[in-house]
Amino acid sequence: MENNNETLVGLLSHYSPTGSVKNAADFLVQKMEMIGFDKSTTDSIGNVIGIKGNGPNQIVMLGHIDTVPGEIQVYQEGDVLYGRGAVDAKGSLAAFTDAIAAVSIHSDWQLIVIGAMDEEGESNGARFICDQYQPKFVIIGEPSQWNRITLGYKGVQNSILSVQKSKTHSSIGKSSCDILLENWQQLRFQVNQFNDGKSMFDQILASVVKMDGKAEDFEMEAEMVISTRLPESITPKIWVNDWLGKMQDVQVSTSNPGIPAFKADKNSTLARAFLGAIRSGGGLPGFVNKSGTSDMNIVMPKWQCPVVAYGPGDSTLDHTPNEHINIREYWQAVDILKTVLIRLGVGSLLQ
């Protein structure tokens, strides 16, 4: 492995599933200090914060340092580097770090790289920073491949559907499971009608995570846990009240208020800077909307500024046992990030 891959390889070598990120965070703080950041530290809940520049205009580059569980041996075959988080999303976080290290920041700008903890959990890292920065631009670190930018992420709402009723003989009445399944089938029919002719990003994507039924003494109970990815037009509150709330004889509960969908402006100054940078790097730029949810959904309703998500890697490898990244693509993404910063007037390349 070449020395110039040290940021990426080092991050991958420090396995950091959600809740166990300290070793990886300590590595990145030290690495940032070594390569010229003005300040690098962890905040009170464990986010890595790296700062370069002292100007009043902030750009926040928000990645995450935690990964899903499932450690993968870190090794390289040719141009391919394997390891948990190579794509989701230590590749992006390392690219942010290496790009900023290569740029001299103008006096009126400040660049802030954040390696958030808990993105794969409840996004507590992103929630914690919402009130601490006032950025002019935001770049979210998630894989999009080097020549594409992500504009939108769907919303999400997890819900519990349950039916309780007095026990009856199976020959003379419906069970609680029957009632719950009939309601689920009717809901799916309504969802399919809503989705007809719409793109993925504008559809409702509902799936059953778990289902259970039991009968004790005089009572029967059925329970179904569902996870629903939501379009911009349907907030979690609307989904729970106007869709799930109309089910017959079904109790609906949620453990959290859900996360609304978010979609960025493709004509923003930031998006145009990325499109120009990708073209100048020999690529054909493209836009992506994702069916998942990211920290973009958490911070942008508060920050309300131009944003894109960007990072190297193939997102279909997220969470897989075969997660890997192409080193050449990684450095292409670093070059794109440097060019974007120059196009935005933030800095110039170090000689």
| Residue 314 among the catalytic residues | no
Contact 16, 23 (CB under 8 A): yes
In angstroms, the CA 14 to CA 294 distance is 22
Q: Which of 88, 98, 118, 119 is catalytic?
A: 119
Distance of CA 226 to the CA centre of its chain: 20
| Residue 242 among the catalytic residues | no
45: DSSP letter: T
Taking Cα atoms as reference points, which of 262, 257, 271, 270 lies closest to residue 298?
262
DSSP calls for 231-274: -TTS-HHHIIIIIGGGSTT-EEE-SS--B--EE--TTSHHHHHH
- SS3 at position 28: helix
In angstroms, the CA 17 to CA 42 distance is 17
User: Residues near 125 by Cβ (< 8 Å), separated by ≥ 6?
Assistant: 45, 46, 47, 64, 66, 114, 116, 117, 118, 119, 295
User: Token pair for residue 60?
Assistant: 């926040």
User: Token pair for residue 29?
Assistant: 């703080």
**How far is CA 334 from each of CA 30, 146, 244, rounded to the nearest angstrom?**
20, 9, 45
Taking Cα atoms as reference points, which of 126, 144, 153, 151 lies closest to residue 337?
144
In angstroms, the CA 225 to CA 210 distance is 5
Task: List, in sequence order, the alpha helices (H) in the chain.
Answer: 6-13, 22-34, 90-101, 124-129, 176-195, 236-238, 269-280, 295-303, 327-343
Q: Which residues are catalytic, by number? A: 66, 119
